[in-house]
Structure 1
């Protein structure tokens, strides 16, 4: 997979290294000569240029990319790059970094953003996830804001403890994607039995989150099983 990363700061370089280790082809773009340091990520391609210019994106051959990551420290740059990548070059997947939470509402389909990653929100969510049992925690918004990755740690006293996954009537537009049980990561199977302390990860439509919360909380009356 060919990936273009705009912004060669600490975030962009770290993402580039991870992708390269996984066998992907990476091009880093930055307009600052100080940021373009080939020796730090020698396996990547580098381009010293302004990614907000169409000519730069032409030179980067964005039409051949599967993913563009707008990872600069400037939200305006990330939005412009996302919009150009999606509308001018038809890039299938655009991931954008949100630097300031007040700007998060802009990072959506209208600006060409498929996945918005807000570091402050993610850090807050991870703190909540670490200390919350029985509360639904939103970890990530994606797919133009129409679905989110959410997590809930099953309380020991939840009614669904001891229930088979296949016997639960999950709300519409939700999918249980992973069960983390201690050091094990389980792909959900209808015969898996839910246990107290299980960390459940769902992809869910935002309007279904309250139903998930109610279904999995200690207050549930068991009506979600059949």
Structure 2
């Protein structure tokens, strides 16, 4: 996969390293001479350019990228980059960093954003996830609120313990995508048993989130 990252600051470089380790092709776009340090990540293609300039994006061949990540520390820049790459170059997937939570409402499809990542929100979710057992925790919003990634840890006393994945009656527009158990990631199959302490990851609509909590504490149809 070819990925372009606008912004080669600490966040952009960290993302680039992770993607390179995963075997992806990475192009870093940076307009600041201070942050333009190709030697720091030699495996990436470095381009000294302003990602908010249409002509600069044309020269980089941004249309050849599968994903663009707007990762600068300026929300205005990230919005412009998202809009240009989506509308002018038809990049299939655009993710944008949200620096100020008050601006999160702007990061929608109207601005070309497919996935908005708010660092403050994610940190808060991680804190909640660490202390909340039996409560639903929203980890990330996908597709501008059309779906959310949420987590629920099976608490002591849940009627689901000992039952299997096939016994779950999931709400509408909901999918169980993974189970985290004792350091393992389990792709759930119908015959997999459920255990106390399982961290269950669901993708669901906002309207159905509350039904997941009911599913854990008072599941329908169990003997």
* Displacement of 1:72: 0.1
Residues 173, 204 of structure 2: 8 Å contact kept: yes
Residues 170, 224 of structure 1: 8 Å contact kept: no
Residues 13, 41 of structure 1: 8 Å contact kept: yes
* Displacement of 1:144: 3.0
* Displacement of 1:24: 1.4
SS of the aligned residue for 2:12 comes to: helix
* Displacement of 1:172: 1.1
In structure 2, the residue matched to 1:60 is 60
In structure 1, the residue matched to 2:108 is 108
* Displacement of 1:107: 0.8
* Superposition TM-score, scaled by structure 1 size: 0.95
Alpha-carbon separation, structure 2, partners of 1:116 and 1:225: 38
* Displacement of 1:225: 4.0
Check 1:83–1:49 CA distance in 2 against 1; reply closer, same or farther (3 A cut).
same
Residues 3, 25 of structure 1: 8 Å contact kept: yes
* Superposition TM-score, scaled by structure 2 size: 0.96
Count of aligned pairs between the two proteins = 223
Alpha-carbon separation, structure 1, partners of 2:210 and 2:221: 13
- Which of structure 1's runs of 4+ aligned residues deviate more than 2 A? none
Alpha-carbon separation, structure 2, partners of 1:159 and 1:69: 42
Residues 169, 215 of structure 2: 8 Å contact kept: no
In structure 2, the residue matched to 1:6 is 6
Alpha-carbon separation, structure 1, partners of 2:187 and 2:22: 22
SS of the aligned residue for 1:223 comes to: coil
Q: Structure 1, unaligned stretches of length 5 or more?
A: none
- Which deviates the most, 121-130 or 158-167? 158-167
In structure 2, the residue matched to 1:168 is 168
- Which deviates the most, 202-211 or 16-25? 16-25
* Displacement of 1:93: 0.5
Matches of residues 114-129 of structure 1 in structure 2 within 5 Å?
A: 114-129=114-129
In structure 2, the residue matched to 1:193 is 193
Q: Structure 2, unaligned stretches of length 5 or more?
A: none
- The Cα offsets for residues 139-162 of structure 1, whole Å up to 9 and x where unpaired, read as 111123211111010111112222
